């Protein structure tokens, strides 16, 4: 496998709040058009009963043809390649051409590469990216190899998404607010994503009615280095946007860094001291990426600004 030389992040689009919506729930589908989430995962997998999969595909296809989702990222989570619905799901993805397809329970690089091959067989799917869910012990162990597929010539992989419900079930780790025994696994997935320039999305929190606990979990995920969180209820959106979005102080510092390194007087410097802190030019590059996301969000709220 040949890797591309740089491990840069795939997108400047924010992914703070990634709301998952059952494709079979027509009311929930239409509601997302008015929500302030960064991305929507339209789920054909766990939230849809086996006997209603075909109905869900049809409903989602019709919705995507007419919906106004603005600049929200559109992702379709399909059923696994080992099941009977995978081919039909992929055919629907190719026809609908969303921003990305989310592969469930990815355990090895072949799962990603096989999806890439199917997408590349159709010109209509040229722009469709891939997200991979890491939700089994084998998936965690192979997270780096999976992430590495994003840096091949055929690389379409943009993000890893953690699925803790299945991982807890497989490992026997209880669902406790601190997630203390899961931290090593979470950090391993973050490290794999960063090593190969991918975004990484934290797992859902099932206790959506307890926003205090949810706020704590969001703060923990942000501190770990996650880009955002997968959500199961609109009530969680504001907390995720706040926790994974930059503060006013962070934005101001980013602008200061860019201004300093853009000054012709500092053209030959790769390191300097700003406000008592040593910073490198690479920090200015990250600051520029952050400001791109801030500008994207501002434009999304007010396209005429």
| pLDDT exceeds cutoff 70 at 97 | yes
- Beta pairing, strands 157-162 & 129-134: parallel
Span 248-276, average pLDDT: 86
| pLDDT exceeds cutoff 90 at 169 | yes
Q: Which residues are within 8 A (CB) of 273 and not within 5 positions of it... i.e. 6 or more apart?
A: 279
Span 91-120, average pLDDT: 95
Residue 11: per-residue pLDDT: 62
| pLDDT exceeds cutoff 60 at 305 | no
Q: Round the average pLDDT of the chain to a whole number and report it.
A: 90
Span 42-55, average pLDDT: 97
pLDDT higher for 266 or 303?
Answer: 266
Q: Report the alpha-carbon distance of residue 137 to residue 108 in Å, rounded.
A: 11
| pLDDT exceeds cutoff 60 at 228 | yes
Residue 239: per-residue pLDDT: 96
22-31, 80-89, 263-272: least confidently modelled range: 263-272
Residue 221: per-residue pLDDT: 97
Sequential DSSP letters for the chain: -PPPS----S--S--SEEEEEETT-HHHHHHGGG---SEEEEESSTTS-GGGHHHHHHHHHHHHHH---TT-EEEEE---TTSTTHHHHHHHHHHH--SEEEESS--SHHHHHHHHHHHHT-GGGTT-EEEEEE-SHHHHHTHHHHHHGGGSTT--EEEEEE-HHHHHHHHT----TT-TTTHHHHHHHHHHHHHTT-EEEEPP-S-TT-HHHHHHHHHHHHHHT-SEEEESSGGGHHHHHHHHSPPHHHHHHHHHHHHHHHSGGGTT-SEEEETTEEEEHHHHHHHHHHHHHHHHHHHHH-TT-
Percent of the chain with pLDDT over 90: 68
pLDDT higher for 13 or 99?
Answer: 99
174-201: pLDDT as tens digits? 988 899 999 999 999 999 999 999 999 9
Sequential DSSP letters for 67-121: ---TT-EEEEE---TTSTTHHHHHHHHHHH--SEEEESS--SHHHHHHHHHHHHT
C-alpha of 177 from chain center:
22
Please give the span between the terminal C-alpha atoms of the chain, in angstroms, as a whole number.
45
Contact 37, 13 (CB under 8 A): no
74-78, 211-215, 260-264: least confidently modelled range: 260-264
2-16, 100-114, 236-250, 255-269: least confidently modelled range: 2-16
Going from N- to C-terminal start, the domains of the chain cover 17-244, 248-301
The confidence band for 225, taking pLDDT boundaries of 50, 70 and 90, is: very high
- Nearest 5°: CA angle at 182, between 179 and 188? 135
217 is in an annotated binding site: no
Residue 289: per-residue pLDDT: 84
| pLDDT exceeds cutoff 70 at 129 | yes
Query: What fold does the segment set 17-244 form as a domain?
Result: TIM Barrel (3.20.20)
| pLDDT exceeds cutoff 60 at 8 | no
135 is in an annotated binding site: yes
The confidence band for 267, taking pLDDT boundaries of 50, 70 and 90, is: confident
Residue 7: per-residue pLDDT: 52
Contact 160, 143 (CB under 8 A): yes
| pLDDT exceeds cutoff 90 at 21 | yes
Span 202-218, average pLDDT: 91
């Amino acid at each position: 496998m040949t890797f591309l030389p740089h491990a840069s992040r795939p997108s400047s689009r924010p992914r703070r709040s990634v709301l998952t919506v059952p494709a079979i729930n027509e009311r929930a589908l239409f509601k997302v058009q008015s929500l302030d989430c960064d991305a929507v995962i339209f789920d054909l997998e766990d939230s849809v009963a086996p006997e209603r999969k075909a109905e869900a595909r049809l409903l989602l296809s019709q919705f995507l043809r007419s919906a106004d989702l603005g600049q929200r990222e559109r992702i379709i989570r399909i059923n696994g390649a080992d099941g009977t619905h995978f081919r039909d799901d992929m055919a629907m993805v190719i026809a609908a051409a969303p921003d990305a397809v989310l592969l469930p329970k990815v355990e090895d690089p072949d799962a990603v590469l096989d999806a890439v091959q199917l997408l590349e067989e159709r010109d209509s799917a040229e722009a469709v990216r891939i997200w991979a869910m890491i939700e089994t012990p084998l998936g965690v162990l192979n997270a780096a190899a999976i992430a590495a597929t994003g840096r091949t010539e055929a690389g379409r992989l943009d993000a890893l998404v953690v699925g803790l419900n299945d991982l807890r079930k497989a490992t026997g780790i209880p669902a406790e607010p601190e997630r203390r025994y899961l931290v090593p696994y979470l950090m391993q997935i973050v490290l794999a994503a960063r090593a190969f320039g991918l975004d990484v999305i934290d797992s859902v929190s099932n206790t959506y009615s307890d926003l205090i606990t949810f706020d704590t979990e969001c703060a923990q995920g942000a501190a770990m280095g996650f880009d955002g969180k997968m959500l199961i209820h609109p009530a969680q959106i504001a907390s995720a946007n706040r926790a994974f979005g930059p503060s006013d102080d962070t934005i101001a510092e980013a602008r200061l860094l860019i201004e300093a390194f853009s000054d012709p007087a500092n053209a030959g410097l790769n390191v300097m001291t700003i406000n008592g802190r040593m910073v490198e030019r690479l920090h200015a590059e990250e600051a520029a990426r952050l400001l791109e996301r801030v500008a994207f969000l501002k434009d999304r709220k007010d396209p005429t600004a």
